[in-house]
Amino acid sequence: MSDNESREKLIQCARREFTEKGFDKASLRKIASDAGLTTGAVYFFFKDKNGLFGAVVDEALSGFMQLLKKHFAEEADEDPATYVHVKGDHDPLAEMIVNYLYDNYDVMMLLFDKAHGSRYENVIDTIIEMLETQYSALAKKYAEVTGKRVNEYMLHYITHMQVDAFEHLLNHETDREKAVEKIKPVIDMMITVWVGYVIEDRDE
């Protein structure tokens, strides 16, 4: 077998096996033999089990991270003094994210639910941390302008909720169109909460 045929086949069989059993219980033997190869071959193409998992997952993951970062670059330009939440104003963003998620359905499920034991097992925490850092800056700006203050725990929890919202969606709705419609009110709700609970009155 030449070119990248074997490598691709390995990745493809790995995706299936990881999806079925999760990182820990996935068997390299099975992956290899499904691909018509031996375990040794896996170690020719990849450093180890984690390396193989990475090959399945890396591209989609870094794409996702970039998507989130790009969004924040834009959001950071907004003026908190004049921003007023209008229902539906974040729909395009929600749609973008949902679309990305469903374009990479298998892999995102892998990362969210099946990565336990792998070097990616804390990927969600990483995402949350990144978001939180950005949100925290945003919140401070907003609090300053409005003379209110930031509830840091609520901020952290809401960030968590937000990420969970997408993970939850992926797990419960396979149809992309329906997913988009379902997530919209959730995002709206979240922004309301953001404005009302993350930014709280000083006397509370």
Q: Which does 197 bind (CB under 5 to 8 A by kind): DNA, a second copy, none?
A: a second copy
Q: With both helix axes pointing from N to C terminus, report the angle between 105-113 and 152-172 in degrees, rounded to the nearest 10.
A: 130
Token pair in block for residue 147: 């003379």
Q: What angle do CA 114, 118, 123 make, to 5 degrees?
A: 70
Contact call for residue 16 and DNA (CB under 7 A)? no
What is the torsional sign of CA 111, 117, 123, 124? positive
Query: How far apart are the C-alpha atoms of 113 and 124, rounded to whole Å?
Result: 10
Query: How far apart are the C-alpha atoms of 174 and 105, rounded to whole Å?
Result: 9
Region 30-89 residues binding DNA, contact defined as CB under 7 A: 30, 32, 36-45, 48-49
Contact call for residue 16 and a second copy (CB under 8 A)? no
Contact call for residue 45 and a second copy (CB under 8 A)? no
Contact call for residue 47 and a second copy (CB under 8 A)? no
Region 114-173 residues binding a second copy, contact defined as CB under 8 A: 116-117, 151, 153-154, 156-157, 160-161, 164-165, 168, 172
Applying CB under 8 A, the residues found at the interface with a second copy are: 24-25, 116-117, 151, 153-154, 156-157, 160-161, 164-165, 168, 172, 182, 185-186, 188-189, 192-193, 196-197, 200, 204
